[in-house]
Chains A and B, each alone.
Chain A
Amino acid sequence: MVLPTSVEEASRLLPTAEGGASAKLLAGGQDLLTELKEHLVEPDTLVNLKSVPGLDTIEWNEAGELTIGALVTLTDLEEEAGVVEKLPILSEAAASIASAQIRSVGTVGGNLNQRPRCWYYRAEHAPCLKKGGSECYAFEGRNKYNAILGGGPSYIVHPSDLAPALVALGAKVTLKSHSTSRQLLLEDFYTLPSDGDILTETRLKPDEVLTHVHIPKQRAGMRSTYLKFKERASYDFALSSVALCLWLDQGQITRTRIVLGGVAPKPWRTVKGEQAILGKRVDARTIEMAREACLDGAVTLSENGFKIPLTKGLLTRAFQKLA
């Protein structure tokens, strides 16, 4: 384990696109440690990001924009006064994650970069697509928790709860290496298995560090919520979740963001669903339109068909909550 003191130094310790050092970034370790214990990754070196100063703050600027450091813990995010007041969607998403113990050490950067939970990916002996094998076992095997949208050839779902909420807020991320720095919309940060490199879920380059998350100032009047269905209330990943931002003017929807979690290999923004309801009042018919449009194109596997009625149910509950 090495303790870098700057992002540049951390980046130099990481492998490059061409390969090199077998090293992994370590933040709170809540995902990485499980991967290490299950021998899904076996790096020679752990680069402990926690020794890099300045990445653990939540800052609001005068323009009302929010910058969240990668090392901010989920608990700190959940409890930050401005987030609680202005961005309930984000505080609710953070609060829905895992257990109090895990939230108190898990970080924002680690949460956004965590790896899939699919049974087969996590089973060391199953050489699945995500581990460089040739088959997605979930496709024909046990797939209750797998994707109904955007799947193929791998059917994982992205496990992060922060991601759908942040995508709904139009968040950007800063990615830095020792020689480069760039910003991406979080929405574009995530990839589908069909986009190319199946061994990763993001566009993060091997020597890049996600340093900050930026949330733009939201237009006035936003109502927002993150509704997550957990099979086990005490701590669980989403069977399905809905991140919803809604702007109403005299009862009419002037703007909305709908992002689904737990149903696709990346946070699933449904522009179609958003457009379908613009200008409408929030009533049973509108909700029905949103439900249909959001799940347009869903393809179910043998055991995950329930995610369609479940997600529709959550959408209704989310609209009811905000209207």
Chain B
Amino acid sequence: MATTPSPQDKVAWEPRDEMTVLNKDARRLDGPVKVTGRAVYPHDVRLPNMVYARLLVHPAPRSKLTRVDVEPARQVPGVVYAEVLKSGGEEVLYQGDDAVLAVVAAETPEAAEDGVRAVVVELEELWPPMVTPEQALADDSPKITENGNVVVAGTRGDQAEVEATLGRCDAVVEASYSLPVQHHACLETHGCVVDFDGEKATTYPSTQMVTGSTGMFARELGISRSDVRVLTPYMGGGFGAKFGIGKEGAVASEVAKALMRPVHLMLTRPQEFLMAGNRSGSKQVMKGGATKDGVFQALYVEADKHGGMGRGSLPTPPYIYDVASNASTIRQVHTATDANRAMRAPGHPQASFAMESMVDELSYAIGMDPVEFRKKNLSSEVYHRQLDRVAKEIGWAEHEHRTEPGKVDGNVRVGIGFGVSTWGSGGRPGCKCEVRIEADGSIRSSVGTQDLGTGSRTYVASIVAEEFGLELSQVEARIGDSDLPPSVGSGGSVTTGSLAPAVKDAAHNARVALCDKVAPVLECDPDELTWQGGKVYPTGEPDRALTWKEACATVGSDPLVAMGEFQPHLHQGRVHGAQAAKISVDTLTGEIKVLKMVTIQDQGIPLIRSALRSQINGGMVQALSYGLLEQRVHDADLGYMLTANLEDYKIAGVQEIPEMVAIIDDDDTRQTVCGMAEATCIPGHAAIANALYNACGVRIRDLPLSADRVVTELAKRI
């Protein structure tokens, strides 16, 4: 419903309790086409005369090529194109897109695959392969980047001063925490279809940046940006890995230029693991100290980021907590493996695991309730109420042992752990939205944004429905097309902060324009119209209402078109969250079952409550999977990644999923919008590790908490 503010006022969000479409659960607009398989993802695009391209990626990281011969591939029936991308005499510098040696295109995917296998490669693999941090740090190891294998990324604070403070602490914990490289493991691998006729191109990339992809294809195809159309109405997950078009997009463009036929090039699942990015791993050596009164006094950190050829990411310690005396050095330790990319809250889950473990260790060391210890060292009141809420929901007050852990006694023990999260998630200029109303009552909201599975498509419609007092189903949302008004890419949880204000602005402007048309018919001031329940009437006189259709009839033969753009005052960054996990552990076998996870998350106005809960649940699942299972494994001698598939790179499935409670923090009364999805995957694995300690006193400082590690530690104590 919309009455106030009057159309001429500055656009503002309605009070939450007056909302009829927003701040409610909503069925996703694209739910039916997705669950019935009618949604066409980039992988599914089939165009007349299309060829299928496949890449030849050498699995080992470093080698000297002597020969790459695609002639045998050209002889394979069905193959129409085979080219060398890296030839004899060249070197492969790292595992990933640098090891793409050739491309083959064929009439069928099978023929393309056979073609790739027919390519003759002769090379000398260089040893050591440089796939582990140990190899990178060894004295005599070869330099794999121009700047060497180790680069200091930042230092801060005064170590001597921290040491002095530590000397005055009642408890000091020295510990080394590590996290493996994590993969995005999107259901849809990277890739695209490129349809190029020599002048114009239509492309179908699996991307989290529809508008911005035009320029990348334009560059590769040698045409202007306006001659490229990007169509991605649906895509199968990004998590930060799908901003650029990548080597695969560049090669697909190359093949399209050569053949003048549509080219379908999607990475295979192993290639997805080898060259589509990852979350950097890390090792964080910490020394922390607290005094008996519960103050976290000092922290010294030496951290390495393991981002392969990339820089890795890790926020500066002490991360969320207030630690007055702190110092740190962060280094990049490079390996000859695929560069890390952004991945849902880059760096934060890594920082969270080390910090939340340290916080936990200190609280038990001084015998203080870990929830109270956290509150004592978090200045924001928001965290205090959030921690109290998750503690209540998980049953902390009734839990037996809160200041010391349970025992390893051969039985199944239960434990509870906690963690908090933060994220900036602002909005920024760049989105424009068009709302178009036709005389027949149809109304649509269009913007070239993307829906990564978050539900953005749905609120592109629901914000407009709210504006006019319509049902969600009455408004059509169009997204995923670069010919529509531009949108920012979906990274850093900025989509909502950037997009929703633009949609709101367009809706507002459309209402102002429609009020001007309707007012003369209703013989009232345009400022005094109420849009409610599919009707419009002079405020206070519902019996004089026009139906939506009647109102739209005033539009005339040309549609009413209103544009909107980013309005900074409609958004506000910075979110907070707290999580709790309850687990059981069989202290004989090490079997961990996560029994329950609880998350509370703030974000200002909850645009679609069900979509928010879905993001929260997804964040919990991703953290659980990271904490318990996910592990990429290399053979340090051969250099091969041994887990480049979804059987060996283990991801949580249905049986792993606990009872999940997702709480939207309604005490956050900010009348602004904000993205929040990234924050939800930050502390879950730390909470689980802390729960393991609480259950049985076993502190595992290396993720994942896999059975081999847990049972080995348990066996030492029984």
Contact = CB atoms under 8 A, between A and B. Distances in A.
A310 B590 contact: yes
Interface stretch (B215-223, B424-432, B509-517, B703-711): B703-711
A119 B633 contact: yes
Interface in A105-161: 119-120, 122-123, 125-126, 137, 140-142, 144
Interface stretch (A47-55, A209-217, A229-237): A229-237
Interface stretch (B272-280, B328-336, B648-656): B648-656
Interface residues of B, number: 35
Contacts of B590: 306, 309-310, 313
B653 A141 contact: no
Query: Top 10 closest A-B pairs, CB basis?
Result: A234-B653, A309-B715, A313-B589, A313-B588, A233-B655, A306-B708, A119-B642, A234-B655, A232-B650, A306-B712
B714 interface: yes
B711 A313 contact: yes
B642 A123 contact: yes
A231 B652 CA distance: 10
Contacts, number: 91
Interface in B664-718: 706-709, 711-712, 714-715
B412 to A, nearest CB: 10
B707 A142 contact: no
A240 B643 CA distance: 20
B141 to A, nearest CB: 19
Interface of B: 59-60, 117, 410, 586, 588-591, 629, 633-638, 640, 642-643, 648, 650-656, 706-709, 711-712, 714-715
B588 A317 contact: yes
Given A119-B642, A231-B706, A309-B714, A142 B633 contact: yes
A239 B588 contact: no
Contacts of B117: 39
A191 interface: no
Contacts of A231: 629, 650, 706-707
B656 A233 contact: yes
B652 A234 contact: yes
B642 A234 contact: no
A123 to B, nearest CB: 6
B7 to A, nearest CB: 54
B639 to A, nearest CB: 10
B638 A137 contact: yes
Interface string A230-269: 0111111001000000000000000000000000000000
A140 B707 CA distance: 21
Contacts of A317: 586, 588-589
A88 interface: no
Contacts of B643: 119
Given A119-B642, A125-B59, A313-B586, A234 B654 contact: yes
A220 to B, nearest CB: 31
A141 B635 contact: yes
Interface core residue of B588, B590, B656 (most chain A CB under 10 Å):
B588
28 contacts: A119-B642, A120-B642, A123-B642, A125-B638, A126-B640, A140-B637, A141-B635, A141-B637, A142-B635, A231-B706, A232-B650, A232-B651, A232-B652, A234-B654, A236-B650, A239-B707, A239-B708, A304-B708, A306-B709, A306-B715, A308-B715, A310-B590, A310-B707, A312-B588, A313-B589, A313-B590, A316-B588, A317-B586
Contacts of A15: none
A310 B653 CA distance: 23
A140 B651 CA distance: 27
A123 B650 contact: no
A229 B640 contact: no
Contacts of A144: 708
Given A313-B586, A313-B588, A126 B712 contact: no
A303 interface: yes
| Secondary structure call for the B interface | loop
Contacts of B651: 232
B707 A306 contact: yes
A64 B117 CA distance: 53
A125 B708 contact: no
Nearest to A144: B708
A119 B656 contact: no
A206 interface: no
A123 B638 CA distance: 11
Given A142-B633, A229-B591, A306 B653 contact: no
A70 interface: no
Given A233-B656, A234-B652, A234-B654, 11 more contacts: A119-B648, A126-B635, A141-B635, A141-B637, A229-B589, A229-B591, A229-B707, A232-B650, A236-B650, A310-B711, A316-B410
Interface in A215-232: 229, 231-232
A313 B718 CA distance: 11
Contacts of A316: 410, 588
Interface string A282-323: 000000000000000000000111101110111011000000
Contacts of A141: 635-638
Contacts of A309: 590, 711-712, 714-715
Contacts of B638: 125-126, 137, 141
Contacts of B589: 229, 310, 313-314, 317
B597 to A, nearest CB: 16
Contacts of B410: 316
A229 B590 CA distance: 10
B672 to A, nearest CB: 40
Contacts of B636: 141
B57 to A, nearest CB: 11
Interface string A83-111: 00000000000000000000000000000
A218 B115 CA distance: 56
Given A141-B637, A306-B707, A232 B629 contact: yes
Contacts of A313: 586, 588-590, 711
Contacts of A123: 59, 640, 642
Nearest to A304: B708
A314 B590 CA distance: 10
Contacts of A233: 653, 655-656
A229 B588 CA distance: 12
Interface core residue of B635, B656, B711 (most chain A CB under 10 Å):
B711
Contacts of B648: 119, 122
Nearest to A232: B650
A316 B409 CA distance: 13
A299 B706 CA distance: 21
A140 B590 CA distance: 26
A169 to B, nearest CB: 24
Contact of A125 (B633, B640, B714): B640
B622 to A, nearest CB: 15
Interface core residue of A231, A236, A239, A304 (most chain B CB under 10 Å):
A231
A129 B570 CA distance: 65
Contacts of B711: 306, 309-310, 313
Contacts of A303: 708
B628 to A, nearest CB: 8
Given A229-B707, A239-B707, A137 B712 contact: no
Nearest to A236: B650
A146 to B, nearest CB: 12
Nearest to B587: A313
B656 A234 contact: yes
Contacts of B59: 123, 125
B427 to A, nearest CB: 38
A129 B282 CA distance: 35
Nearest to A229: B589
Given A142-B633, A144-B708, A306-B708, A232 B588 contact: no
A305 B712 contact: yes
A232 B635 CA distance: 22
Contacts of A229: 589, 591, 707
A303 B650 CA distance: 18
A295 B265 CA distance: 51
Nearest to B590: A310
A307 to B, nearest CB: 8
